[in-house]
Structure 1
């Protein structure tokens, strides 16, 4: 394929507001639902992983209890949206754990033509978010023409750098243009990217507004800080609270719980909003708004990854939620 030169992105946040505002819903937050209830759901969101890029246990951390207890293991953050009416499956992030995650997706909605992906949406160029693409190549699955939606710089990165460019040349993947504020229409599913500030060493970084027939969700696994976003220049500023108000469920960055969880390091400048800070910032939101929040993307040091951690109780008692692998949320009545 030939790819147009430049890959320059020119837009303003008013485009975000116009595109997302049309999707605003007033329905109550959609909770994670049981498997029995979900069977009748035509469009659903499935959580395939909740860990930070390196998952848990993380390489080099031999003391992690998860080495001996598989129930404590966590895959890198990823979600899927399935449209049973159309027989379509959409994956958000191609993580290093994509093999296990596609197996889990197969259990929820089998496919007769692996990998059975009608689209992959990438958020950015950090290792936990795109490197699973390698398993689509000729050394592994040898997939054909899997649509990969990526922002201009992310697409340019894949198109111009090995080994990713080989996936393009061998037609394992087909790069699809994605621009912030411009919805991608996929039958009963509409996906809209929005840019956020987060370590842009190689690519821009986005979150996604995902709308089903009657309910919608935010998927925002990485951001530097809520405060930086609302004061961002170039017309890209947005308040996270305003975005939460447009959806029923919000999966948001919760990489770290609080300063001090990594011994011997001052974490005050880390490029992620701590859960403790997010809860403080969102404390004055209405109960129904707080209930929409489902924290995700837990670093291996984050205590909330452990089922019996007291920090989990702190989060839920404050009215918020923590994403769990395997949870399923219906996006259609």
Structure 2
């Protein structure tokens, strides 16, 4: 092949892949790491029937679309990975994750946080109408397991052995391999159907905390500040930036406003603030907009904003 033509085709491949997946993986850590698979709130970005400017900008520029909030832990030593939450963007997110693995298209397991639409409905792609998976390990709390077993169409996934439910308990450690372990941490949230957990992910002596949903930090019987001081990474609920952001009673959908979290974490050291990655943004949240004043403020104060495709060592 002509060298000039080869170069042009190579550049086109990179551009197309970047538009579709937001990242190409060339250099990754040799030790276990976290990859961000999505940052949006359950309903995605843009959101259905949204005529606001925040969504119009994505409709006009599709490359700005964000997948629903999820992370994965990748162990390049064993070529294993685990996804935390099965979102409606599961198909695209498993493809994004596959770039971090050798000859594998699926994770080695799925950890669910709770029964809201953005956190478990991706399981449908493992069913008869789609992949027809064979005993995909799904780790979930007791009420979440019962919900899946007793309600269709999820019950069919269990009956057909598309998924293999593994019951976990709060504050109980699950060993995944000789390096990686996971501990569910129960948090207060709108538990209409299931309990809600975050996860402490351990990589030997390093720790990453993942709490994409919680009502308010002060409703928790534990201290998020203490957790931050004792982990190496913290991916935290940042659904709304401030009060009054949506045209609904925000008491119906309580979350820590980013402004509240920033104030709560104000006295942390610069090193501790750098551990924090805000994630799970509603479509109205200005942290989704690169270069916005909200983004500048949060970054200037020493915090991080999770980005789709981001690789974070811990």
Residue in 1 aligned with 2:42?
53
How far apart, CA to CA, are the structure 2 residues paired with 1:213 and 1:244? 18
Paired with 2:288 and 2:28, the residues of 1 have a C-alpha distance of 28
Match of 2:10 in 1: none
| Number of aligned residues | 287
User: In 2, Cα distance between the equivalents of 1:310 and 1:173?
Assistant: 44
Separation in 1, partners of 2:33, 2:248: 40
**How many Å separate the matches in 1 of 2:312 and 2:291?**
24
| Aligned counterpart for 1:272 among listed residues 255, 266, 275 | 255
Q: Does 1:317 align with 2:300?
A: yes
* CA offset digits 1:266-318 (Å, max 9, x no partner): 53664100000100111111111111111000000001101121100000111
* SS of corresponding position for 1:133: helix
Partner of 2:31: 42
Deviation readout 1:69-121 (Å, 9 max, x if unpaired): 12321110000111122221111000000011011011122434x43x21100
Name the residue aligned to 1:162.
Answer: 152
- How far apart, in 2, do the equivalents of 1:35 and 1:144 lie? 28
Indicate conservation of the 8 Å contact 1:46/1:326, yes or no.
yes
Which one has a larger percent helix, Structure 1 or Structure 2? 2
Q: Return the offset for 1:265.
A: 4.1
For 2:99, what is the secondary structure of its paired residue? helix
Q: 2:238 aligns with which of 249, 254, 258?
A: 254
Secondary structure of the structure 2 residue equivalent to 1:168:
helix
Secondary structure of the corresponding residue to residue 108 of structure 1: coil
Q: Residue 88 of structure 2 aligns to a residue in which SS?
A: coil
CA RMSD of aligned residues (A): 1.5
Q: Does the Cα contact within 8 Å between 1:249 and 1:293 map onto a contact in 2?
A: yes
Q: Quick one: structure 1 residues 103 and 35, their matched pair in 2 at CA, closer, same or farther if it must change by over 3 Å?
A: closer
Contact persistence 1:210–1:217 (CA under 8 A): yes
Confirm whether residue 219 of structure 1 aligns to residue 205 of structure 2: no
Query: Residue 330 of structure 1: CA displacement?
Result: 2.1
Aligned counterpart, 2:19: none
Using CA pairs under 8 Å that are at least 6 residues apart, name the structure with larger relative contact order, 1 or 2.
Answer: 1
Residue 129 of structure 1 is matched in structure 2 by: 119
Deviations 1:21-42 (Å, cap 9, x if unpaired)? xxxxxxxxxxxxx966x53423
Q: Which residue of 1 aligns with 2:4?
A: none
Please give the secondary structure, in 2, of the residue aligned with 1:244: helix
- Give the structure 2 partner of residue 101 of structure 1: 93
Asked if the contact 2:273–2:303 (Cα under 8 Å) also holds between the matched residues in 1, the reply is: yes
Residue aligned with 1:125, SS: coil
Q: Using the alignment, how far apart are the partners of 2:237 and 2:199 within structure 1? A: 13
The CA distance in 2 between the partners of 1:288 and 1:35, in whole Å, is 27
- Determine if the alignment matches structure 1 residue 206 to structure 2 residue 197: yes
Q: Distance in 2 between matches of 1:171 and 1:182?
A: 25
Distance 1:266 1:118 in 2: 40
Write the distance in 2 (CA, Å) between the matches of 1:142 and 1:266: 41
Q: Give the Cα separation in 2 of the matches to 1:137 and 1:243.
A: 37
In structure 1, stretches of 5+ residues that fail to align are 1-33, 230-236
Whether contact under 8 Å (1:198, 1:223) holds in the other structure is yes
User: Which of residues 187, 193, 197 in structure 1 aligns to 2:188?
Assistant: 197
- What runs of 5+ residues in structure 2 fail to find an aligned partner? 1-23
Q: Distance in 1 between matches of 2:250 and 2:114?
A: 23
TM-score (normalizing by structure 1): 0.83
